[in-house]
């Protein structure tokens, strides 16, 4: 059973099927780090722990489930499943469950995936499966390391012996030994192996799926990588799928081909999600691909804010850190999302409106977020702190063209608004919220992307101007 809800659903979703409730109990109210640790080969989280993002995602829950089946979600998007139940968590800005264009758009931008130049384009009204959408990105990263090679056992039966004689095969194939041939085996370092076969099976599956085949033609580069994999796997046989998946049950440990490990994991997710190769042995397996909405939103915003002169401090490398103490310069370092003095900007994937009525604005910023922003302003001697959020707020009344009254709006447009939370006491400064309205009434993904592009232009102009 496939269940579909949205992120930050405020507990407004009821699961009625008893079996689905039973399955989801194995996922609900569990910390993300615990689920990932216990299901390393089957649950994929973005950002990964190796990326060292300081957003405390490990402490979060994917979902909670009450006794009566009420399901509550947070910032996590993607899909996760147990047994016969799979939960898909779309962004809350989806117009319909099957058209999660906002999440698709952010994935396209963050992972640099070309959708618009598809020669064999998906129907514009179709939403892409996120695993298929990610395939060209990870295929490229892997193949740029070279086609994966490993030692494999090869069997021969001829007169040019160059390995170990296979006595059993020799007796079976050559008795009464008058043909001059000898059966033998060798270990050869070749391209046709279980890993490249897994990639080939994934390619062929995507080719046969009308909803995702266009992904394979997204760029000439992708087509070239696919051609290399096809040429490297002359022994491909569709009937060997389960055997190939079993051979890939353990992750790649080759130190050179490091980029093949995430590709291997993604291929297994694509094939398993369609129930290919699933049986009784996997009935209790948790599987999924998950995205932290806060991380995805921050990485998406970075593409626009860097154009406006902002820097994006990186926790992983220590680049761009700020320090609260003059006499202890290496202690207690902090990483604001974005800095361009005298402005500090923070990406927040949070609701700006009352979930019961989108007409009413909610500026109740969490205490810890507000305290953190004030401390950043003080430490850097900056004067403006900005929270940038995706907005569900209906700023303009479509019936009469009038804006909902609030004197604290500095700028109000259909796509973008700037709202002043207040002026700070003490050293002064102010806190603003920039809300980016996410289109929900457009009928095609192309129109959605065009609207988002205009909004990004408006955001860039606003940030480059005097706030």
Decide if 24 contacts 2 (C-beta within 8 A): no
pTM (two decimals): 0.81
How sure is the predictor about 398, in pLDDT bands with cuts at 50, 70 and 90?
very low
Please state whether 425 falls in left (phi above 0), alpha (psi between -120 and 50) or beta.
beta
31 vs 415, more confident:
31
Decide if 293 contacts 7 (C-beta within 8 A): yes
3-state secondary structure at position 459: helix
Decide if 269 contacts 81 (C-beta within 8 A): no
Please give the backbone phi and psi of residue 396, each rounded to the nearest 5 degrees, phi first: -110, 135
| Percent residues over pLDDT 70 in the chain | 82
For the chain, what are the domain ranges?
99-149+191-277, 150-190, 309-464
Q: Using the predicted structure, report yes or no on whether residue 31 has a pLDDT greater than 90.
A: no
Distance CA 118, CA 215 (A): 7
Question: pLDDT tens across 283-311, in order?
Answer: 567 888 899 999 999 999 999 999 999 99
Cα–Cα distances in angstroms (integers) from residue 158 to residues 131, 168, 234, 254, 409, in the given order: 45, 15, 21, 33, 83
445 vs 110, more confident:
110
Q: What is the mean pLDDT of residues 339-359?
A: 77
Please confirm whether the linkage preceding 47 is cis (ω < 30° from 0). yes
226 vs 129, more confident:
226
Residue 27: predicted pLDDT: 92
Residue 141: both structure tokens together: 């990263």
Q: Worst-scoring range by mean pLDDT, 42-56, 71-85, 212-226, 396-410?
A: 396-410
Residue 121: predicted pLDDT: 43
Residue 19 CA, chain-centre distance (Å), reads 28
Average model confidence (pLDDT) across the chain: 82
Q: How wide is the angle at C-alpha 166 spanned by C-alphas 161 and 167, nearest 5°?
A: 115
**DSSP-assigned beta bridge partners for residue 193:** none
Distance CA 182, CA 36 (A): 50
Q: Which residues contact 82 (CB under 8 A, 6 or more apart)?
A: 23, 24, 26, 27, 284, 285, 286, 287
Residue 157: both structure tokens together: 């039966």
**DSSP-assigned beta bridge partners for residue 436:** 390, 416
Residue 159: predicted pLDDT: 84
Distance CA 441, CA 105 (A): 16
Question: pLDDT tens across 217-274, in order?
Answer: 888 899 999 999 999 999 999 999 999 999 998 888 888 899 999 999 999 988 886 5
Question: pLDDT tens across 149-193, in order?
Answer: 987 777 888 888 888 888 888 888 888 888 889 888 888 778 999
Residue 120: predicted pLDDT: 41
How sure is the predictor about 124, in pLDDT bands with cuts at 50, 70 and 90?
very low
Q: What is the DSSP string of 192-244?
A: -SHHHHHHHHHHHHHHT-TTTGGGGGSSHHHHHHHHHHHHH-TT--GGGHHHH
Q: Worst-scoring range by mean pLDDT, 121-130, 197-206, 304-313, 449-458?
A: 121-130
3-state secondary structure at position 454: helix
């Amino acid at each position: 059973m496939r269940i579909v809800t949205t992120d930050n659903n405020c507990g407004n979703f009821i699961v009625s099927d008893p079996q689905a409730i039973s399955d989801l109990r194995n996922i609900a109210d569990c910390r993300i780090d615990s689920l990932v640790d216990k299901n390393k080969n089957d649950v994929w989280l973005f950002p990964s722990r190796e990326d060292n993002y300081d957003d405390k995602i490990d402490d979060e829950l994917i979902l909670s489930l009450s006794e009566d089946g009420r399901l509550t979600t947070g910032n996590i998007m993607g899909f996760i499943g147990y047994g016969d139940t799979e939960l898909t968590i779309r962004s809350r800005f989806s117009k319909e469950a099957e058209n999660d264009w906002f999440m698709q758009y952010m994935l396209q931008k963050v992972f640099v995936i070309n959708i618009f130049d598809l020669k064999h384009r998906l129907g514009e009204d179709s939403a892409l499966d996120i695993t298929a959408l990610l395939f060209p990105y990870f295929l490229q990263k892997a193949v740029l390391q070279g086609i994966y090679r490993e030692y494999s056992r090869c069997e021969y039966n001829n007169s040019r012996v160059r390995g170990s004689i296979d006595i059993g095969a020799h007796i079976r194939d050559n008795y009464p030994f008058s043909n001059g041939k000898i059966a033998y085996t060798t270990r050869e370092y070749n391209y046709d192996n279980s890993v490249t076969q897994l990639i080939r099976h994934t390619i062929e599956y995507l080719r046969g799926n009308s909803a995702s085949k266009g992904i394979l033609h997204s760029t000439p580069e992708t087509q070239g990588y696919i051609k290399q994999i096809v040429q490297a796997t002359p022994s491909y046989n569709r009937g060997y799928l389960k055997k190939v998946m079993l051979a890939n049950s353990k992750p790649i440990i080759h130190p050179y081909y490091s980029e093949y490990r995430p590709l291997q994991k993604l291929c297994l997710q694509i094939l398993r999600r369609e129930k290919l190769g699933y049986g009784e042995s996997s009935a209790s397996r948790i599987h999924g691909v998950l995205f932290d909405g806060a991380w995805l939103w921050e990485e998406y915003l970075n593409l626009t804010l860097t154009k406006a002169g902002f820097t994006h401090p990186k926790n992983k490398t220590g680049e761009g850190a700020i320090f609260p103490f003059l006499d202890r310069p290496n202690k207690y370092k902090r990483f604001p999302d974005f800095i361009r003095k005298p402005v500090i900007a923070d990406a927040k994937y949070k609701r700006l409106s009352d979930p019961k009525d989108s007409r009413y604005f909610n500026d109740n910023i969490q205490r810890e977020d507000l305290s953190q922003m004030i401390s950043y302003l003080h430490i850097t001697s900056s004067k403006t702190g900005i929270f940038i959020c995706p907005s569900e707020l209906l700023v303009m009344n479509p019936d009469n063209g009038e804006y909902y009254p609030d004197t604290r709006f500095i700028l109000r447009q259909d796509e973008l608004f700037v709202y002043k939370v207040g002026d700070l006491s003490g050293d002064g400064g102010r806190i603003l919220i920039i809300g980016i309205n996410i289109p929900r009434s457009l009928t095609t993904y192309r129109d959605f992307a065009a609207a988002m592009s205009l909004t990004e232009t408006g955001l860039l102009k606003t940030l480059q101007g005097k706030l």
